[in-house]
Amino acid sequence: MRPLRRRHAPVLQGFVILASLAVAAPMLAILWLAVTGGTADLGHVAGTILPRALMRTTMLLVMIGIATAVTGILAAWLTIAFEFPFRRQLTVALVLPLAMPTYLAAYAAGEFFDFTGPLQTALRSLFGFTRPSEYWFPDIRSIGGATLVMGSVLYPYVYLACRSMFLLQGRAAADVARTLGASPLRVFFRVQLPMARPAIAAGLMLVMMETLNDIGAVEYLGVNTLTFSIYDTWLNRGSLSGAAQIASVMLVLVVLLIVAERHARRSQRFAGAKTTSTVHDAARMHLRGPAAWLATLFCLAPVAAGFLVPAFVLGGYAVKRLDVLLTARVAGALWNTIVVGVLTSAIAVMLAFMLAYSARTGRSRTTGLAARSAALGYAVPGTVLAIGVLIPLATFDNALTSLIRSWFGVNPGLLLSGTMFAIVYALTARFLTMAEGTVEAGFHKLPLSLDHASRTLGHTGAQTVRTILLPVMRPAILTAALLVFIETIKELSATILLRPFNFNTLATLVYEDASRAQVPDAAVPALIIVLSGLVPVVMVSRTLDRGR
């Protein structure tokens, strides 16, 4: 098989290297523009925009990190270690906020906590207040409000990671500590929590990335983070170089987060040991009286804040505005969303299959480095990726336009950077990692003996892929395509910056209506996004149910 691998290695290496270059090009373009963009905007950016935006971003990351860590860790521990009312239902329900994009949760929270919303209306009716000056109510449009809203939506990343690690550990280590006289609380802090540290770091990494990527929620809630500063500097101030300089700071922040996460996972071998994984079905401790209902309320609160309340608000508006679904504006946005989603998922899955297959047939150092580079797209916020995509595409468009004008005397205009291609390119680079992980997991379940048997029977590499691997890998490929398609539907940051004139997806349509304080008009497309997001949540919930 070694000569056969060498024969096909150059082709696979070429595909892998091209894919990695396509993903790395936007990040390299940002750094290049930030350095060569001149100093005209550097003083304003460094002296006025960057310090305040960096401080708000850091505060938001720290507060959301603490909120999601506390909620996710304790919810996972309670559902694993104790028995209390509605535990089984809450185990699955705790995943539901993953279906709610942060910007939709922010729009719904703004309506729910507003002066005319149901909460303050009930408060005034209960105590007889007539004016806002007669009582105090916290402002949802603040860093604290953003922490509440975004933390309620993003905590499932920590919850799922910790729950998986607690299940992997089993109950043997905890039971041994209990026999030595340790209390349940002491066992949690001294045994289970240290062993789950790598999972906590991985979950918090995803929370931080989603926080940095968000633009709709932070703008609506009045928190000017680095992400919003990029958007404002580029579109409102007309300074692409200034936006690139802010984006380069975000890239440095992303790298620091990745380094911190890798450092926290140094003990992965110790924490991930499977020596106790055979004791999944150990008996849980039964909570009684107020403690049992406090555990139920603790697990129910984030579900209510992150999913039930936004779904209630958006669903109530959608029922009254169902006629909006038949308008040309919503129908056009739905069609654009489907087209962008199908193209992105098809290209991402094709590239992911090539990357995973190259690893299966033997990876050299070059392809290994290229594959790791291709996996960096998901770590880059959408606004940063949008700037990086625009620079090489605009350079290509300008060069091609000059060539056509000199040869034919015709000005073709922007061919790539002003079209849907830019959106598909950015979203493919961002979600390629997700598709590759799913496809590679499917390949891990197939023994290499299938490839060897096919080749010994006279099939070429292409015939082996077409007649054996692709049919067997169909479930993994379809799952990867579905996940990328759903993430594309929810994506806002890159789409809002790269979309052509008069081009809307469901996410940008919701953003436009919410920016004009017309959240009721955005309820129907918002509900479509939420319902599509429920698909992967149901898949995860079924996994949790089987795990029980």
The C-alpha R_g of the chain, in whole angstroms, comes to 25
Q: How many helices (H) and strands (E) does the chain have?
A: 29, 2
Say if residue 97's pLDDT is above 90: yes
Q: How many CB atoms lie within 10 A of CB 513?
A: 20
- The tens digit of pLDDT for each residue in 126-165 reads 888 878 778 888 889 899 999 999 999 999 999 988 888 8
Binned at pLDDT 50, 70 and 90, residue 266 comes out as low
Lowest mean pLDDT of 20-34, 130-144, 359-373, 423-437, name the range: 359-373
| Spatial CB neighbours of 345, under 8 Å, sequence gap ≥ 6 | 435, 480, 481, 482, 484, 485, 488
Q: How many CB atoms lie within 10 A of CB 304?
A: 16
Say if residue 101's pLDDT is above 80: yes
Both 313 and 374 in one domain: the answer is no
- Is 370 or 410 the better-scoring residue by pLDDT? 410
Both 96 and 227 in one domain: the answer is yes
Query: Which of 284, 317, 350 is where one domain is finished?
Result: 317
Long-range contacts (CB closer than 8 Å, 24 or more residues apart) made by 411-414: none
Asked if the structure places residue 519 within a domain, the reply is no
Q: Tokens 């606004």, residue?
A: 383
Q: Tokens 């949760």, residue?
A: 105
Long-range contacts (CB closer than 8 Å, 24 or more residues apart) made by 130-137: 137/113
In three state form, how does the secondary structure of 157-219 look?
A: HHHHHHHHHHHHHCCHHHHHHHHCCCCHHHHHHHHHHHHCHHHHHHHHHHHHHHHHHCCHHHH
CA distance 325 to 513: 14
Asked if the structure places residue 362 within a domain, the reply is yes
Q: Of 473, 475, 476, 482, which is closest to residue 536 (Cα–Cα)?
A: 482
Burial 399-408 (b: 16+ CB within 10 A, else e): eebeeeeeee
Binned at pLDDT 50, 70 and 90, residue 205 comes out as confident
Residue 355 near residue 371 (C-beta atoms within 8 A): yes
Q: How many CB atoms lie within 10 A of CB 325?
A: 14
Residue 141 Ramachandran class (φ > 0 left, ψ -120 to 50 alpha, else beta): beta
Binned at pLDDT 50, 70 and 90, residue 473 comes out as confident
Q: In the prediction, which pLDDT does 2 show? A: 46
Both 24 and 151 in one domain: the answer is no
Lowest mean pLDDT of 35-44, 210-219, 329-338, 388-397, name the range: 35-44
Both 226 and 354 in one domain: the answer is no
Binned at pLDDT 50, 70 and 90, residue 307 comes out as very high
- Mean pLDDT, the chain, rounded, equals 82
Average confidence (pLDDT) over 451-477: 80
Say if residue 115's pLDDT is above 60: yes
User: What tokens were used for 420?
Assistant: 């849907």
Q: Please work out, in degrees rounded to the nearest 5, the angle formed at the alpha carbon of residue 242 by the alpha carbons of 239 and 247.
A: 125
Q: Of 506, 505, 498, 350, which is closest to residue 432 (Cα–Cα)?
A: 350
Both 236 and 343 in one domain: the answer is no
Asked if the structure places residue 513 within a domain, the reply is no
Both 311 and 360 in one domain: the answer is no
Q: How many CB atoms lie within 10 A of CB 19?
A: 24
Average confidence (pLDDT) over 273-293: 67
Say if residue 273's pLDDT is above 60: no
CA distance 198 to 205: 11
- The tens digit of pLDDT for each residue in 42-84 reads 666 777 788 888 899 999 999 999 999 999 999 998 998 889 9
CA distance 507 to 337: 8
Q: In the prediction, which pLDDT does 20 show? A: 79
CA distance 524 to 360: 44
CA distance 305 to 520: 19
Q: In the prediction, which pLDDT does 3 show? A: 44
Both 306 and 441 in one domain: the answer is no
Q: Find the helix or strand (DSSP H, E) in which 286 lies.
A: strand 285-286
Query: Which of 285, 317, 349 is where one domain is finished?
Result: 317
Q: Please tell me the total count of domains within the chain.
A: 2
Say if residue 275's pLDDT is above 60: no
Q: In the prediction, which pLDDT does 271 show? A: 47
Asked if the structure places residue 224 within a domain, the reply is yes
| Spatial CB neighbours of 21, under 8 Å, sequence gap ≥ 6 | 370
| Spatial CB neighbours of 32, under 8 Å, sequence gap ≥ 6 | 391
Asked if the structure places residue 528 within a domain, the reply is no
Binned at pLDDT 50, 70 and 90, residue 285 comes out as confident
Both 377 and 396 in one domain: the answer is yes
Both 351 and 491 in one domain: the answer is yes
Say if residue 548's pLDDT is above 80: no
CA distance 230 to 481: 30
- Is 253 or 46 the better-scoring residue by pLDDT? 253
By residue range, what is the domain housing residue 369? Answer: 1-36+339-499
- The tens digit of pLDDT for each residue in 330-341 reads 889 999 999 999
SS3 402: helix
CA distance 133 to 121: 14
User: What tokens were used for 528?
Assistant: 């479509």
What's this model's pTM, rounded to 2 decimal places? 0.84
- The tens digit of pLDDT for each residue in 216-252 reads 899 999 898 888 888 888 877 777 788 888 888 888 8
Say if residue 107's pLDDT is above 80: yes
Asked if the structure places residue 334 within a domain, the reply is no
Residue 505, judged by CB atoms within 10 A of its CB (0-12, 13-18, 19+), counts as buried
Both 54 and 133 in one domain: the answer is yes
Binned at pLDDT 50, 70 and 90, residue 371 comes out as low
Asked if the structure places residue 101 within a domain, the reply is yes
Both 165 and 303 in one domain: the answer is yes
CATH of the domain at 131: 1.10.3720.10
Both 91 and 215 in one domain: the answer is yes
Cα 133 to the chain's mean position, in Å? 40
